[in-house]
Amino acid sequence: MTTNPLLAIDDLPRFDAIRPEHVAPAIDALLADADAALERVVSDAVPADYDAISAVLSVATERLGKAWGAVSHLNAVADTPALRAAYIEALPKVTAFYTRQGGDERLYAKYRAVAESPQATRLSGPRRRALANSLRDFVLAGAELQGAAKRRYAEIQERLAELSQAYSEHVLDATDAFAYYASADELAGVPADVVQAARAAAAREHKDGHKLTLHFPSYHPVMQYASDRALRRQLYSAYVTRASELGPAALDNSAVMLEIVRLRHEEAQLLGYRSFAEESLVPKMADSPQQVFDFLRDLARRARPYAERDLDELRRFAASELGIDELQAWDLPFAGEKLKEARYAFSEQAVKQYFTEPKVLTGLFHIAETLFDVSIHEDRASAWHPSVRFFRIERAARDAAQATQVVGHFYLDLYARPGKRPGAWMDDVRSRWLRPDARRLQTPVAHLVCNFAAPVEGRPALLTHNDVTTLFHEFGHGLHHLLTQIDDIGVSGIAGVEWDAVELPSQFMENFCWEWDVLKRLTAHVDSGEPLPRALFERMVAAKNFQSGLATLRQIELALFDMRLHAEPGSEADIQALLDGVRREIAVVDAPAFNRFQHGFSHVFAGGYAAGYYSYKWAEVLSADAWSAFEETGALDAETGRRYREAILEAGGSRPALESFKAFRGREPSIEALLRHQGMA
Ligand code: ZN
C-alpha cells in the first residue's frame, strides 16, 4: 500500500508513477477516510468550531480531492483504455460521496451551530464568507426540507438527471442519424481537407461520393464555404430540426423539455422561490431576473443599429456579388465568410509565421512580471509527457532580511496528441491554504492545458492568433488561482467566485493579444525574425469586430429565451411561442418557421447554463470594463497592475465579485467599454 502514489501526495502528485491499478485501492481508501471524517465531524467528539471541523473534514476531503484530481487529469491528458476503465469505475463512488456530504443534515446543523456561536463574530472576513457559502449550498441542496417535501426534492433530482441525460442522447443520436453523400460538384468552394475527409468517410462505408454529417467539423465548413445553395439549405434544415417533432418520434425532445422546466420550477418552489430563475441566481452575481432582463434589453437596444447595419451590408453584398436576392438563414455563414474575405483579406497561415511559441511565452511571462510583481522560472517536477513543462512563480524579497517567496507553480501542457482531450482549460492541482493540520501555508499549483499543433523537427511550434488568445485566456484563470493571498481553502483563488464573474480574469488577459505595443513584442517571423507588420495587424483588428452587432443580438436572443423560460412559470407550456416572441423582440434576421433550435439547446436543457446563459455577456462587461482601466493608463502600467492584482486576483472568492470590481474600478461596472471594444459605440 505504501507504494501507491495516489496515497502519498504530500507535495506534488508523482504523475509518472501513477498506474491504472492504483486508482481503485487508493480511491476506496480515501473515500473510507472521508466518510469516517464526516461521521466524526458530526459527532459530539468535534466541537462546533471552524478550525476543529476543518482539521478533520477539510483535511480528509482535500486528500481525496487531490488524488481524484490527479486521476481525472490523467484521464483527460493521457487517456488509455485501462485508465479510463479505472476512472469510470471510481467515478460514481466519488460523486456519491460529494452528494452525501452536500445534503448531510447533521453537517449542516454543525455549520449552523458555528454560525450562531459567539465565535462567529470573531471569524475573519474570508472565513465568514466561506461559512456563509457552505450554509447557502446546504439550503439549495434541500438540507432544510422535511418529510414529504424532502422526499419530493430527492425524486426531482433523480428525475432531472435522467431527463437531461435523455435530452443529450436525443441530440447526439439525431446528429448521428443524418448523413448525406454529396458529389464533388456539390462541394464546390469547400476547403480541400474537408472534402478529403468527407471522401474518406464515404469510402470507409464502401460508398460513392462524400459523406457530410451534422457534426461540427463537417457541418460548419459546408455552411461557411459551399457555394451550392440547395446543399446548404438541406444541411441547415436537418441541423435545426434535430431532436424535434419534425423528426423521428423516439428522438423528440418536446416532452423532455416540458418536464425539465416544470420540475425545475417545482424544485424552486419547494425551496421557497417563485421561479427557477430566482433560485439559479442565488449563488450568482446578478441579483434578480429583472436585473438580467434589464441588462439584456439595454444591450440589445444598443447593439440593434449595428446589427441592422451588418445585415444591410450583407444583403447588398449577397445581391450584387453572390446573386442571392433574398438572404435566408442558410446563406448567412456563407455570405458572411465571402464578405469578410473580400473586405479584410489576410490568411491565418501568414499570421501564424510570426507567433513562435518561445517568443509568445516569453512575452506572456513578461506581462505578468511587469504588472503583477512576480518572476516566473522554469522548474522540475514529475509529469505525464516529456513535452510538459513546469514553472515556479516567485515574489522578490522586500529587503535583504527577507527571502524570496514562492507564490505557486504551474504545469504547462501545450500540444495536441493522441489520448488527450481537445480544448483548453485551467485546473487546480491544489489550492492556497493555511493548513489546520500542519499550521503551514500550502502554495497553489495549477494545470494549464492547450491543444496546439506540436513543433515539427527543428522548428519552434507556430501558434495561430486564436491559439495565442486561448493561451492568454487560460493563463488568466491560472493567475486567479495562483496569485490569491487568501488562506481559506473555500474562498482562495477561484473557489467561491460567483459563476457569472469567474471569466473576468481570463477574458481580461485576452485583451493583451489585441494591443499593438504588446503584440509586436510577442512576434518574430519564424524565418526572418521580423515583427508582425502593422498593416497586417490593422486588418486583424478590423476583422475582429466583423458583424459584432449580429453576433451580439444572437447571444441576447438565446440568453433572453433562457431567462424568460425559467423566470415565467407556465411559459414552458408553449416553448415555441415563447421563443417566437423573443425573436420578434430581439432578432433582426427571421428564423424559418421550421427552425427548432430549442430542441438542441443543450447548454440550458442538459448543461449547467439554465437561467445562466446570460453569463457570457455579463462577464464580458466586467472584463472589458476592467481592461478599460489599462487603456487609460497604458497596458503595461505597473501601478494599475498592482491595483488589479490586489483587488481582483488576490481577493479571489473572499468577497462578492461586485465588491472586488468596485475596489479596482472605484465604481459599478459599465457596459460602455464592451460596446466600444466590439465596435458598437
Ligand atoms: Zn474560461
Ligand 1 center from residue 475 Cα (angstroms): 9
| All cell numbers assigned to 445 | 499549483
* Cα–Cα separations (whole angstroms), residue 403 to 396, 400, 655: 8, 8, 30
pLDDT band at 400, cuts 50/70/90? confident
Q: Which residue has the cell 439525431?
A: 174
Q: Which of 394-408, 473-487, 501-515 has the lowest mean pLDDT?
A: 394-408
- What's the rounded mean pLDDT across residues 328-335? 96
Structural domains of the chain, count: 4
Q: In the prediction, which pLDDT does 623 show? A: 97
* Domain annotation covers residue 659: no
Average pLDDT, rounded, for the chain:
95
- What's the rounded mean pLDDT across residues 119-137? 94
Residue 480 sits in the same domain as residue 367: yes
**586, 613, 640 — which closes off a domain?**
613
pLDDT at 1 over 80: no
Which residues are CB-contacts of 65 (< 8 A; sequence separation ≥ 6)? none
| All cell numbers assigned to 507 | 477574458
To which H or E segment does residue 410 belong?
A: strand 405-415
* Domain annotation covers residue 590: yes
CATH at residue 433: 1.10.1370.40
Q: In the prediction, which pLDDT does 240 show? A: 97
- What's the rounded mean pLDDT across residues 129-134? 96
Q: What is the pLDDT of residues 146-168, one digit of tens each?
A: 999 999 998 999 899 899 989 99
Range of the domain at 190: 178-241
Residue 419 sits in the same domain as residue 474: yes
**Chain mean position to CA 247:** 31
CA quadruple 237, 243, 244, 249: dihedral sign: positive
Residue 440 sits in the same domain as residue 513: yes
Ligand 1 center from residue 473 Cα (angstroms): 6
Q: Which of 399-408, 467-476, 516-525, 616-625 has the lowest mean pLDDT?
A: 399-408
* Cα–Cα separations (whole angstroms), residue 550 to 223, 305, 332, 507: 17, 10, 11, 21
Separation of alpha carbons 42 and 108, rounded Å:
9
CATH at residue 28: 1.20.1050.40
Residue 54 sits in the same domain as residue 196: no
What are the DSSP calls for 642-675, one per residue? HHHIIIIITTTTSS-HHHHHHHHHSS---SHHHH
Residue 374 sits in the same domain as residue 516: yes
* Domain annotation covers residue 660: no
Share of the chain above pLDDT 70, in %: 100
Q: What is the pLDDT of residues 33-48, one digit of tens each?
A: 999 999 999 999 999 9
Residue 12 sits in the same domain as residue 136: yes
| Catalytic site includes residue 267 | no
pLDDT band at 398, cuts 50/70/90? confident
- What's the rounded mean pLDDT across residues 256-276? 98
Q: In the prediction, which pLDDT does 350 show? A: 85
Q: What is the pLDDT of residues 75-92, one digit of tens each?
A: 999 999 999 999 999 998
**562, 588, 613 — which closes off a domain?**
613
Phi and psi torsions of 451, nearest 5°: -135, 60
Which parts of 248-325 fold into alpha helices (H)? 254-270, 276-281, 289-321
CB 385 within 8 A of CB 77: yes
pLDDT at 347 over 90: no
Residue 297 sits in the same domain as residue 395: no
Residue 257 sits in the same domain as residue 226: no
Q: In the prediction, which pLDDT does 348 show? A: 79
* Domain annotation covers residue 48: yes
- What's the rounded mean pLDDT across residues 184-211? 94
Residue 369 sits in the same domain as residue 459: yes
CB atoms within 10 A of CB 211: 19
Q: What is the pLDDT of residues 551-608, one digit of tens each?
A: 999 999 999 999 999 999 999 999 999 999 999 999 999 999 999 999 999 999 998 8
Ligand 1 center from residue 295 Cα (angstroms): 22
Q: In the prediction, which pLDDT does 439 show? A: 83
Residue 211 sits in the same domain as residue 117: no
Ligand 1 center from residue 167 Cα (angstroms): 25
pTM, entire model: 0.91
Ligand 1 center from residue 317 Cα (angstroms): 35
User: What is the Cα gyration radius of the chain?
Assistant: 26
* Domain annotation covers residue 120: yes
Ligand 1 center from residue 389 Cα (angstroms): 21
- What's the rounded mean pLDDT across residues 451-460? 88
Residue 377 sits in the same domain as residue 522: yes
* Domain annotation covers residue 651: no
Q: Is 54 exposed, middle or buried (0-12, 13-18, 19+ CB in 10 A)?
A: buried
CB atoms within 10 A of CB 472: 23
**Chain mean position to CA 236:** 27
**582, 598, 613 — which closes off a domain?**
613
Ligand 1 center from residue 477 Cα (angstroms): 7
Q: In the prediction, which pLDDT does 677 show? A: 92
Separation of alpha carbons 55 and 82, rounded Å:
35
To which H or E segment does residue 551 belong?
A: helix 548-567
* Domain annotation covers residue 365: yes
pLDDT at 271 over 70: yes
Cα–Cα nearest to 558, from 597, 607, 504, 502 = 597
Ligand 1 center from residue 503 Cα (angstroms): 5
- What's the rounded mean pLDDT across residues 369-377? 97
Separation of alpha carbons 652 and 484, rounded Å:
6
Q: In the prediction, which pLDDT does 36 show? A: 98
Catalytic residue among 62, 474, 510, 557: 474
Ligand 1 center from residue 601 Cα (angstroms): 20
pLDDT at 2 over 80: no
Ligand 1 center from residue 102 Cα (angstroms): 26
* Domain annotation covers residue 673: no
pLDDT band at 506, cuts 50/70/90? very high
Decide which of 3 and 327 is more confident: 327
CATH at residue 332: 1.10.1370.10
Residue 400 sits in the same domain as residue 448: yes
Q: In the prediction, which pLDDT does 366 show? A: 96
- E-strand stretches of 316-400: 375-379, 389-395
